[in-house]
Structure formats: structure tokens, C-alpha cells
């Protein structure tokens, strides 16, 4: 799929079509808008809106040491993640966001996921600036400070690290090689840059480092501390439950890893979005509303069968699903950061 993305990117620049928007619309309607959690849907909508109606031209929204630090244009920290070079750039990023967002928002809760996206969007840009500044001083090459990055995939790399942290184990095929999920982001980091040298290796690396700061460093504790000040008045009790828990949900879920790893699967097509139930409560149903007692692999297989049946295909075509988290998408994290010279 990395090769496919590069081919799409090159062809799209030549013909200037809106194929990416059509593919993204098909992806959204195939899932069903009601089945996409609200924060994920709002983030996707914001990216699409700013692609159609950009706040500024790309050269005035991309992030570089020269523009942000030297010229003090710090607004680029907020603008650069949500602008994209072309429609295929947008499509691959947003398709990746759909699956990562569905998994993480249902696990963490909408409020915390929105908080996470906000912090990652800004912090990925800051880490990017620090890395480029460091490279400029170490190599004495000022070109690193001039490289301008734009796109959401730095944030997506960070979300991939967090998603693998909350859903450990498993493996996926990347370029024909079976790679454990814990190492997949590092392999993709290198392969994407090899397949498409115009992408920002440093931008993607910044996203991975931010994800590691959250999963193994102090970032998560710092975020909880800051959120505690906001919720200390007691007006946001549901979110505060999350801040005092082990990180499985914002709504009082028990600390059960199997429950925490349940993935979003529609029990029926067209079922509306609902927050997860607290199984510890007397009024909770005996099964999670989306699992129906099935294992994670069985849930994904059922969803694939339903999807293929809707398109008039046979369920016998369901083959080759290696890792459930992103196998339905059958694509890799796109190369969101683009360099402008």
C-alpha cells in the first residue's frame, strides 16, 4: 500500500482530480456516519473543511524553524496539522484517522480523546521544531531550518504508538514482512521515507516521540494533572473518573484488559453511536453492545462479511486478515508531512 500511495500521489499531482475526496466519502458512508464517534468525526470534518477552504495558502501554514521560530509565526503550530497538500494526501490521512480514532475514542472516551488530539497536534509540531533545530546545529546545515512541513500524519504516528500501547500484541504485514505491532511504526517510518523521499522523516519521527512520551514518559501524568485543575470544581464528574483510573475509560469501566481491548464493530449496519456501558453497573447489559459475545477476530470477520454482502460480494472473499485493528483498511499510515523547498 505504500507503493500504491506513492503512485496515487504522483498521478494526482498531474491530473489535479478530487479522487481522494470521493474515496474518503465512500469510506465514511460505508462505515456509517452514526457509527463514527463524535470527536473523530469532528476532526475529520475539520480537516476536510480546511482542505476545501484553507485558512491560508500552504506556504503560509506549513511549519518550519525559519517561519515559526525566526519569524515568530507560532500560528503555524495550530494550522499545519490540519492542512494537506492534495486530495490523496488528505484521504490517506483521514482514512487512517478513522480507524485509529474509532479504537482510541471508544477506549478513552470522547473528552480525553479530544484532549489527546489537541495536545498531540501542538506538541508534535514543537518536537519537530526542536529536532530540526538540533539537526541544523549538529550538521551546520541551515537547510533543515527551512524545511516546511504540513499534514496530520505526524499526529497519526503518535496515535499509532498509543493505539499499540492500549492494544498490545499482534502483528501485521508490511511490504511482505510480518512485523510485530510494537515495531510497526518504526518500520513504516523508514519505508515511507524510502518510498516517498518528499515526506518529512523528522515530522513522522516527532509524532512517534510524542506517542512514546505519552505511553512511557511523563506526558500522560502531566495531562492528567492539568485536567485535574479543570475538573476539580466537580462539574465534570464523568471525565474526572477517567483521570483517577488506570486509563481504560472515562466512564467508570472496570480495569479489565479484555474489556478495554474491545474494538468498534457495528452489531448491525446503521446502529447509532453510543458510549460504552459500564459493565459494573446493575443496569448494564450482559454483553458489550458491539461485541455480541464474539472474540475480536470474530467481530472483524463478521463486519467484513456484512460489508462484502452489502456490496453484493461473497463472504468467501474474506482472506488474509492478519491484524484486526487496521486490516479492514488495508493501507498504511500515509506520509502526511510534505517538504517545501
DSSP of 67-120, one letter per residue?
IIIIS--TTHHHHGGG--SSHHHHHHHHHHHHHHHHHHHHHH-HHHHHHHHHHH
For the segment 161-218, what is each residue's pLDDT rounded down to a tens digit?
A: 999 999 888 888 887 888 888 888 899 999 888 888 888 899 999 999 999 999 998 9
Mean confidence (pLDDT) of the chain: 73
Query: Has domain 8-218 been given CATH number 3.30.2290.10?
Result: no
Inter-residue contact 124 to 81 (CB < 8 Å): yes
Q: Which of 64, 145, 153, 263 is catalytic?
A: 153
For the segment 106-132, what is each residue's pLDDT rounded down to a tens digit?
A: 999 999 999 999 999 999 999 999 999
| CB-based burial label for 112 (10 Å; 0-12, 13-18, 19+) | buried
Q: C-alpha distances in angstroms, 227 versus 40, 115, 177, 234?
A: 20, 9, 41, 12
Report residue 41 CA to chain centroid gap: 12
Can you give the pTM of this predicted structure? 0.65
State mean pLDDT over 52-79. Answer: 93
The whole-number pLDDT of residue 155 equals: 97
d(CA 83, CA 334): 14
Q: Is residue 230 very low, low, confident or very high in pLDDT (cuts 50, 70, 90)?
A: low
The whole-number pLDDT of residue 231 equals: 58
Match 480537516 to its residue by C-alpha cell.
47
Other CB atoms within 10 A of residue 76 CB: 23
Report domain extents, the chain.
8-218
The whole-number pLDDT of residue 274 equals: 46
Task: Based on the residue annotation, tell me whether 204 is a catalytic residue of this protein.
Answer: yes
Q: Which of 83, 89, 167, 204 is catalytic?
A: 204
Handedness of CA 248, 251, 252, 253 (dihedral sign): negative
Q: Which of 140-144, 223-227, 290-294 has the lowest mean pLDDT?
A: 290-294
More confident residue, 86 or 181: 86
d(CA 81, CA 61): 9
Other CB atoms within 10 A of residue 240 CB: 19
Amino acid at each position: 500500500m505504500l507503493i500504491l500511495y506513492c503512485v496515487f500521489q504522483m498521478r494526482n499531482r498531474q491530473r489535479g482530480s478530487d479522487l481522494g475526496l470521493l474515496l474518503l466519502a465512500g469510506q465514511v458512508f460505508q462505515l456509517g456516519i452514526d457509527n463514527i464517534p463524535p470527536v473523530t468525526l469532528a476532526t475529520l470534518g475539520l480537516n476536510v473543511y480546511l482542505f476545501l477552504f484553507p485558512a491560508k495558502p500552504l506556504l503560509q501554514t506549513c511549519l518550519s524553524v525559519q517561519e515559526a521560530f525566526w519569524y515568530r509565526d507560532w500560528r503555524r503550530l495550530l494550522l499545519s496539522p490540519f492542512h494537506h497538500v492534495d486530495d490523496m494526501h488528505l484521504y490517506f490521512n483521514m482514512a487512517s484517522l478513522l480507524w485509529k480514532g474509532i479504537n482510541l475514542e471508544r477506549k478513552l472516551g470522547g473528552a480525553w480523546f479530544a484532549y489527546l488530539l489537541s495536545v498531540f497536534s501542538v506538541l508534535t509540531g514543537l518536537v519537530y521544531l526542536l529536532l530540526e533545530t538540533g539537526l541544523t546545529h549538529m550538521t551546520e546545515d541551515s537547510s533543515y531550518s527551512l524545511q516546511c512541513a504540513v499534514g496530520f500524519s505526524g499526529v497519526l504516528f503518535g496515535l499509532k504508538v498509543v493505539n499499540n500501547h492500549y492494544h498490545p500484541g499482534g502483528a501485521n504485514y508490511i511490504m511482505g514482512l510480518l512485523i510485530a505491532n510494537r515495531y510497526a511504526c518504526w518500520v513504516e517510518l523508514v519505508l515511507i521515507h524510502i518510498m516517498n523521499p518528499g515526506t518529512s522523516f523528522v515530522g513522522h519521527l516527532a509524532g512517534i516521540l510524542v506517542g512514546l512520551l505519552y505511553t512511557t514518559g511523563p506526558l500522560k501524568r502531566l495531562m492528567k494533572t492539568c485536567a485535574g485543575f479543570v475538573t476539580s470544581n466537580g462539574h465534570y464528574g464523568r471525565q474526572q473518573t477517567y483521570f483517577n483510573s488506570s486509563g481504560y475509560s472515562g466512564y467508570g469501566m472496570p480495569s479489565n484488559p479484555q474489556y478495554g481491548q474491545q474494538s468498534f464493530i457495528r452489531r448491525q449496519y446503521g446502529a447509532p453511536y453510543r458510549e460504552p456501558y459500564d459493565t459494573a453497573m446493575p443496569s448494564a447489559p450482559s454483553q458489550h453492545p458491539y461485541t455480541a459475545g464474539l472474540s475480536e477476530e470474530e467481530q472483524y470477520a463478521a463486519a467484513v462479511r456484512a460489508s462484502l454482502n452489502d456490496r453484493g460480494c461473497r463472504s468467501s472473499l474474506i482472506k488474509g486478515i492478519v491484524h484486526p485493528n487496521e486490516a479492514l483498511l488495508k493501507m498504511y499510515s500515509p506520509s502526511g508531512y510534505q517538504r517545501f523547498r
